[in-house]
Amino acid sequence: METCYRHPKRETGVRCSNCERPICPDCMTSTPVGMRCPECARQSTKVRGMRSATNDPVLTYVLIGICVAAFIGEMAGGASATGSGFGGSRLFEEGALRGPDVADGDYWRVLTAGFLHAGFFHLLFNMFSLWILGSLLEPAIGHLRFALVFFVSLLAGSFGALVVDPNSLTVGASGGIFGLMGAAVVVMRNRGINPMESGIGLWIGLNLLITFTVSNISIGGHIGGLIGGTLAALVLFEAPQVLRLPPAAANLLCAGLGAAAVVGSVVVAG
């Protein structure tokens, strides 16, 4: 159990939302962005809501770059830019998610499908969403935890897609993006921010409406990703306080969610 950095004899499961030093109840100061230690609480001019850290969303840019590069590869291989038809590209055919292919041993598809897209507008919409959510979340929670949330969400989205419709070809980063939406809600609540006031609640609702009303959208992929990202954020930001887990243990437990999604995908596909 960690102890307060100002009172070494007092055990605590709470950390400052800015510097992440452990703090006891006597040292906690409630702010709009969560509990702060006395030093950080006095730095009122540096409080910036969710963007409480100073890191740039480097991983977000890397993920966008991978998706764009993969789409260029699809186009070079003969895929349609309009998304009028699946296939036409070796990259697409070898990387898209489909239950029978996973059952035959193509386990990489549960990951690679999340970086492929069926047409330019599919890519554009997903990358715009990833840029917004990544710019919001990554500086606030750090590169490692952002990566854990995204990849757990992506893998959970693949699992959901296989559960709902295992025989359809599925591609897109939507599972990871829906997971980031769910994680944003958890992080905001953890830091004392009302998610409904931020607009994220309306955004999730609108995307769910589109998911269930527009054809050719993977319902299982979207819902699976949303659930996966929410669970990942709960493990990373709520479990350490409730279960008194050290951050490293929470990271490992979160990674375990991703592994469970892969195992589930293989089982469902088979």
Task: Specify the 3-state DSSP secondary structure of 170.
Answer: strand
What is the C-alpha separation between 141 and 84, in angstroms, rounded? 38
- Per residue in 105-137, is it b (16+ CB within 10 Å) or e — as a string? ebeebbbbbbbbbbbeebbebbbebbeebbbbb
Q: Residue 155 has which token pair?
A: 């893998």
* Whole-prediction pTM: 0.79
Q: With beta carbons less than 8 A apart as the criterion, state whether 31 and 41 touch.
A: yes
User: Choosing from 122, 153, 218, 222, which is the catalytic residue?
Assistant: 222
For residues 159, 165, 167, 173, the Cα torsion angle rounded to the nearest 10 degrees is: -50
| Residue ranges of domains in the chain, CATH in brackets | 73-269 (1.20.1540.10)
117 a catalytic residue: no
User: Choosing from 17, 89, 174, 218, which is the catalytic residue?
Assistant: 174
Closest C-alpha among 130, 99, 103 to residue 117: 130
174 a catalytic residue: yes
pLDDT in 10s for each residue of the chain, 270 residues: 678 888 887 777 778 878 888 887 777 776 656 677 887 877 643 444 455 444 689 999 999 999 999 999 988 887 777 665 555 688 888 999 999 999 999 999 999 999 999 888 999 999 999 999 999 999 999 999 999 999 999 999 999 999 999 999 899 999 999 999 999 999 998 888 888 877 888 899 999 999 999 988 999 999 999 999 999 999 999 988 888 888 899 999 999 999 999 999 999 998
